[in-house]
Structure 1
Amino acid sequence: MLLVLLIRGLTLPGALQGIMFYLYPEPSRLADPQVWMEAGSQIFFSYGLCTACLTVLGSYNKYNNNCYRDCLWLCLLNSGTSLVAGFAVFSVLGFMAHEQGAPIEEVAESGPGLAFIAYPQAVAMMPLPQMWAVCFFIMIIVLGLDTQFVAMEVFMTSVTDQFPTVLRKTGRREIFLLFFCLGCFLSQLIMVTEGGVYVFQLFDYFGYSGASLLFIAVFESLAMGWVFGDERMFDIIEDMTKTRPNFIFKLCWKYLTPLVSLVSLVCSLLQYKPLTFNRWYVYPDWAYALGWLLALSSILLVPGWALVHLLTGKGSLRERWHLLCNPDSKLPLTCKQRTKIEETSCTAVMKVLVSTEEN
């Protein structure tokens, strides 16, 4: 559908103007931290980072699945699709600017305004607008559905793994999923009211973007690169794929990713701008307070959960801290480790049997 809309957009008058606006760089904007923040947010959204999507979906693969190759393809296909989508969008916005006789800067929208205001207005100006409107909104609906399927699977898999004895019995997982979906549906009905986009932007701006995502990214990268350990991760990937990853991944896990995430987090807080609706309406103070509560509901879970384990653990404070900051050494992570443990167990059993027979 995206390719169909792209081809149609490129045949419209003014499409070249939109494409030039899309591709022509402005070097001065590279010094603007907000540009890099928007780029980082796009990567987080499109790749599904820090939301457990990749972790959950990857957990259903076979052990010897080539995760190294899958990650490379994911990056190429995802970024390639985003690039094609930009051509499809800006060719139509160029047509809209041409029809209205206005600069494309005034036509281009960001956020939900692009999908639900600017682009539909441009579609309405095309020949056979009903057909193109149906095509566009079918694409939007399907895009939303597949995103929702993944989001539901992340939640269901996490809860099922947390309570396996309860939810892994026949039919219980499906019943729980039904009630969870009904609860989400009823709670989200406010989004389709006349003021729904007002609430939607509040959730979108504070709930799943900016500081909350970057904060989780910092701790995830530190946990993976330093607590779990880059060498241990290299051993697992080599055991799964029979090839050892490039050394640059180690630099990214330990230094580059945490540093970039931390700098982005600090910049997002320093460059914070009040949320506006339709470029002119400024939200009231109570809305900002509600928004920051949404953001803190995700941020505070990380130090809060660590603090609970730190206070309830056994041993001295130093011993508890050391235990929490190190992975379980007894956990078999690779086939070699599991084989070694199994061989050790078999040897111990054989010794017991021999001694029993001798006695």
Structure 2
Amino acid sequence: MSGSLYRQDHTQMQPPQVQERGQWATKAEFILTVAGAIIGLGNVWRFPYLCYKNGGGAFFIPYLLFLGTCGIPLFILETALGQYTSQGGITCWRKVCPLFEGMGYASQIIIFYGSISYIVILAWAFLYLFSSFSGELPWANCNNKWNTDACVVINNYTTTVNWTLPSNTTSSVIEFWQRRVLHISKGIESLGDVQWDLSLCLLLSWSICYFCVWKGVRSTGKAAYFTATFPYVMLVVLLIRGVTLPGAIDGIHYYMYPNASRLADPQVWMDAGTQIFYSYAVCLGYLTTLGSYNKYNNNCYRDSFLLCLLNSGTSFASGFAIFSILGYMAQKQGVDISTVAESGPGLVFIVYPQAVTLLPLPQLWAVCFFAMILLLGIDGQFVGLESIMTSLSDVYPSLIRRRYNRELLLLLICVTCFLFGLFMVSAAGPYILQLFDHYVCSGPTLLLLSICQSIVIGWIYGAERFCENIEDMIGYKPLSLIKYCWLYAIPFICTGTLVFSILEYSPLKFNNTYVYPWWAYRIGWFLAISPLTMIPINMILKVSQRKGTLLQRLKKCCQPAGDLPMMMREMEGHCALTPVLDDGKFGSN
């Protein structure tokens, strides 16, 4: 087929009133936006906690193994796939292997579910941030209306006193978290009232995310200049302050002390693999969407390595910042670090607010810390929204890319998520949030998607063919090790990890004590399974639309569409590149 025919088809696909898809204005916008998407709250609290929990420095062995065999290869795969096809998280698989287009729908549903729950953390952080602008931090005393008679101020306990917190008392920090912020009920069945202040903080979070995304990649890229860089400024400030505190060396030693015996525990390897998948945002369509706005000849291969190094380096540095402060906190209170080091929200909303009360100018450090938490969360949130909008607009370009249609659809999505999010700022909100957190981005879901991706690229489309596609873009092939990871390492390691997670399955509990009612587990499994059902549903629809025997239909559904890369090259003036073959396959083979 001639290039003029492609241009004619492309013109028909893009009527005059339909806005152009757009590209990154600069390479820095791409780098910063991806960095904002993959570097978030998990780097600040989850990695340091897992490191000391699973053997300290010895934890780096399974972490680096999963990073090299699964994390980096999948990162390169998704970024390169988006750049090569110039399509979002759904239609990129339609171009490569229509039979597995359902993977794209699955990833967008996961992002949608995650957006509802993840942003609640930002609402909490906003409440803490606003509370920090006061003469005295409200969690640093027991003179508030939410405090009970059992409240004590831990700051009053120092190393000169035999520090033992009586069993019938609670700290002022915990009471602020449980009674002021959460108003937590006795169980998920006791929904309670929606908290008006948290709901306003939730509305503020969604408003910020909306205006970061409403103009598409143009506004997303500009917002990333601030949201992706300022947290690093805060992290450096906290790191410098932390390592200069008394007792910091004890915290760092506790964080990094290698315990090789922990490597014999299979759970350590499971934690390492899970951290890689969460931290690198693979199998969610983020990377494909952001890569799709690159120019065709951008060196996405080199960018992927740099971004992976930045991600893991941030996690490593965060451990020094957090545990140096925890070491100071333990010395100040005269207790062991293990009693103050917690994971998840416990570190962000209990341990660190307690730590800042022990520092000079506590209001200043509280503002700095929660500003960092907010920016780490906001850029990850609006990149998820951008992924959904890009994927939908690529499926329905003539509808969504019309003037104002994109803004209206984005507003509808934000309002819908906000209304669902109101359940999570009720008295039962923490229970609902844990259901979403545990089941939506669960290990089995991401592992199944990673196995499907590696099978499609490695075995159906062809790992060697995809390496040649990358060579067509950047001028050279990736390392052979990357290709063998797509073919063998990812399916083997992820399948083994999936089997282990199923064998070691145990029902979810809240704070290891509260057992959810049976219907709550049903909701959780619906959240986990509903995205994955899109894969077989899409397969059935694709096969039923073809003619011939079942084998012929499957074969046709596995053939890639080959027009898009050629159109991209022609639009960028690279008409001398290889034409598309007659059988519909990409022309770089």
Both proteins in one fold, TM over 0.5: yes
2:563–2:580 contact (8 Å) kept in structure 1:
no
Cα deviation for residue 332 of structure 1 reads: 6.1
2:444–2:501 contact (8 Å) kept in structure 1:
yes
Q: What amino acid is the match of 1:270?
A: L
Alignment of 1:296-307 (within 5 A): 296-307=529-540
Name the counterpart of 2:518.
285
The partner residue of 2:283 within 50, 71, 74 is 50
Alignment of 1:65-214 (within 5 A): 65-214=298-447
Partner SS state of residue 342, structure 2: coil
Moved more, 50-59 or 255-264: 255-264
Moved more, 235-244 or 182-191: 182-191
Measured at CA, do residues 170 and 181 of structure 1 come closer, stay the same or move farther in structure 2, by a change above 3 Å? same
Unpaired stretches in structure 1, ≥5 consecutive residues: 345-359
Cα deviation for residue 54 of structure 1 reads: 0.6
The partner residue of 2:490 within 257, 271, 274 is 257
Deviations 1:109-152 (A, max 9, x none): 11222212222222223222211111111111111110111001
The partner residue of 1:217 within 450, 466, 479 is 450
Unpaired stretches in structure 2, ≥5 consecutive residues: 1-233, 583-589
Name the counterpart of 2:248.
15
Q: What amino acid is the match of 1:105?
A: S
The partner residue of 1:229 within 455, 462, 467 is 462
Instruction: Please give the alpha-carbon distance, in whole angstroms, between the structure 2 residues aligned to 1:246 and 1:342.
Output: 26
Indicate the RMSD between aligned Cα atoms, in angstroms.
2.1
Partner SS state of residue 13, structure 1: coil
Q: What amino acid is the match of 2:285?
A: A
User: Is residue 2:538 matched to residue 1:327?
Assistant: no
Alignment of 1:36-47 (within 5 A): 36-47=269-280
Partner SS state of residue 304, structure 2: helix
Measured at CA, do residues 40 and 337 of structure 1 come closer, stay the same or move farther in structure 2, by a change above 3 Å? farther
Moved more, 219-228 or 297-306: 297-306
Instruction: Please give the alpha-carbon distance, in whole angstroms, between the structure 2 residues aligned to 1:194 and 1:263.
Output: 39
Q: Normalised by the size of structure 2, how large is the TM-score? A: 0.55
The partner residue of 1:317 within 547, 550, 555 is 550
Instruction: Please give the alpha-carbon distance, in whole angstroms, between the structure 1 residues aligned to 2:515 and 2:331.
Output: 30
Asked which structure has the greater RCO (Cα within 8 Å, sep 6+), the reply is 2
Measured at CA, do residues 228 and 35 of structure 1 come closer, stay the same or move farther in structure 2, by a change above 3 Å? same
Partner SS state of residue 188, structure 1: helix
Measured at CA, do residues 198 and 98 of structure 1 come closer, stay the same or move farther in structure 2, by a change above 3 Å? farther
1:227–1:327 contact (8 Å) kept in structure 2:
no
Instruction: Please give the alpha-carbon distance, in whole angstroms, between the structure 1 residues aligned to 2:551 and 2:525.
Output: 33
Q: Which of the pair is proportionally richer in helix?
A: 1
Measured at CA, do residues 202 and 332 of structure 1 come closer, stay the same or move farther in structure 2, by a change above 3 Å? closer
Deviations 1:274-322 (A, max 9, x none): 3233343333333222211111112222223223323343211111122
Q: Normalised by the size of structure 1, how large is the TM-score? A: 0.89
